[in-house]
């Protein structure tokens, strides 16, 4: 892919000025190629690594994925083990987390960016939201344990888990919502306001629809991260073996990453393969969730800017 033409100085005959390649052109072009190659290398190494991980996981786990794998609960015997409880737990968690974090996060983002008066309090909140985005998930787990599980008495339920994951997702959703809104051209906003619209009408009919793709990207990112979290769930007391599917928000639960964690820590090779199979399912769940969001995003872009 690298095509260097450094021999151009060899032509001694005086040629057409457009064909003159004397001077530092060769050197400049070389630098350009080196830069392009570095970029290529960086991209390929990342994609290659991910491809290798996925392939490796697939080779280990694909044999275990069948109907029984989805309909059985976890078991002492690898052959009878399945992920029914964990899969349903994850879907429940994802649902409740989305239910809490998306509206609260998006509305907070709109308020902070569009409506709130700029001042010390605004800056104080902005800085703290940014800081919260960098807090490790374990810390959210500890907070959730103290606040939701103990203080509010939600016990080790789906609700405690989902609320904790919601808190963890909020900063990312708020920040990306703010960024998406800030990226809406001010000409659209000013145009709407100059038409005698209130701030709410402007936000609802123009700012929000224009910012929607950006907001959804942030939501996808935040929820994907939440679904893959293990650490806070361990602290919150998600169960590692569960022989029932949660029926409501106050039931005990387990989740796919919990199941993976439990199986990986077992000595038997078969359980490791089960963990690999579970990883494939988890990736599948993420893929489905992302596809839905991308679908909404494309639909919302029907009118091109």
183 touching other proteins, by CB under 8 A: no
198 touching other proteins, by CB under 8 A: yes
296 touching other proteins, by CB under 8 A: no
195 touching other proteins, by CB under 8 A: yes
For 214, other C-beta atoms within 10 Å of its C-beta total 19
For 296, other C-beta atoms within 10 Å of its C-beta total 15
44 and 31 in contact (C-beta within 8 Å)? no
284 touching other proteins, by CB under 8 A: no
Q: Which of 51, 85, 83 is nearest to 275 (CA)?
A: 83
| Three-class SS state of 140 | helix
76 touching other proteins, by CB under 8 A: no
Nearer to other proteins, 156 or 206 (CB): 206
What is the distance between the alpha carbons of residues 122 and 192, in angstroms, rounded to a whole number?
A: 25
Give the binding range for other proteins (CB under 8 A) out of 1-9, 153-161, 181-189, 227-235: 181-189
- Which residue in 185, 265, 291, 298 binds other proteins (CB under 8 A)? 185
What is the distance between the alpha carbons of residues 148 and 205, in angstroms, rounded to a whole number?
A: 37
119 touching other proteins, by CB under 8 A: no
What is the distance between the alpha carbons of residues 305 and 210, in angstroms, rounded to a whole number?
A: 8
191 touching other proteins, by CB under 8 A: yes
- In whole angstroms, the minimum distance from the beta carbon of 203 to other proteins comes to 12
- Per-residue string for binding with other proteins, 199-238, x by CB under 8 A? --x---xx--xx----------------------------
192 touching other proteins, by CB under 8 A: yes
* HSE of 129, CA atoms in CB hemisphere, 13 A: 21
Give the binding range for other proteins (CB under 8 A) out of 8-16, 155-163, 188-196, 282-290: 188-196
What is the distance between the alpha carbons of residues 29 and 44, in angstroms, rounded to a whole number?
A: 22
User: Under rule CB under 8 A, which residues in 89-118 are in contact with other proteins?
Assistant: 118
Angle 84-110/208-227 helices, nearest 10 degrees? 140
Size of the site for other proteins (CB under 8 A): 21
Structural element, H or E, at residue 262: helix 256-264
Q: Which residues bind other proteins (CB under 8 A)?
A: 118, 185, 187-188, 190-198, 201, 205-206, 209-210, 303-305
């Amino acid at each position: 892919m690298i095509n260097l033409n450094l021999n151009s100085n060899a032509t001694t005959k005086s040629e057409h000025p457009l064909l003159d390649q004397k001077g530092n052109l060769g050197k400049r072009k070389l630098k350009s190629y080196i830069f392009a190659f570095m970029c290529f290398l960086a991209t390929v190494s990342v994609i290659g690594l991910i491809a290798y991980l996925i392939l490796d996981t697939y080779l280990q786990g694909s044999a275990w994925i069948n109907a029984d794998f989805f309909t059985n609960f976890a078991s002492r015997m690898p052959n009878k083990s399945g992920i029914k409880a964990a899969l349903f737990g994850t879907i429940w968690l994802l649902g409740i987390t989305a239910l809490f974090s998306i509206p609260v996060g998006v509305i907070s983002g709109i308020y902070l960016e569009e409506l709130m008066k700029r001042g010390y309090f605004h800056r104080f909140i902005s800085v703290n939201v940014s800081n919260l985005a960098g807090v490790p998930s374990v810390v959210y787990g500890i907070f959730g344990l103290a606040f939701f599980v103990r203080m509010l008495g939600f016990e080790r339920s789906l609700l405690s888990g989902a609320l904790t994951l919601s808190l963890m997702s909020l900063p990312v959703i708020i920040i990306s919502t703010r960024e998406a809104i800030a990226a809406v051209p001010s000409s659209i906003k000013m145009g709407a306001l100059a038409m005698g619209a209130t701030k709410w009408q402007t936000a609802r009919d123009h700012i929000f629809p224009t910012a929607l793709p950006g907001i959804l990207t942030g939501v996808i990112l935040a929820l994907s991260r939440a679904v893959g979290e293990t650490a806070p769930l361990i602290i919150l007391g998600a169960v590692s073996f569960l022989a029932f599917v949660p029926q409501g928000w106050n039931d005990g639960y387990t989740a796919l990453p919990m199941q993976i964690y439990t199986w990986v820590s077992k000595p038997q090779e078969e359980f490791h393969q089960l963990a690999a199979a579970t990883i494939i399912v988890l990736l599948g769940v993420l893929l489905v969730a992302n596809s839905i969001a991308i679908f909404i995003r494309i639909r919302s872009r029907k009118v091109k800017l």
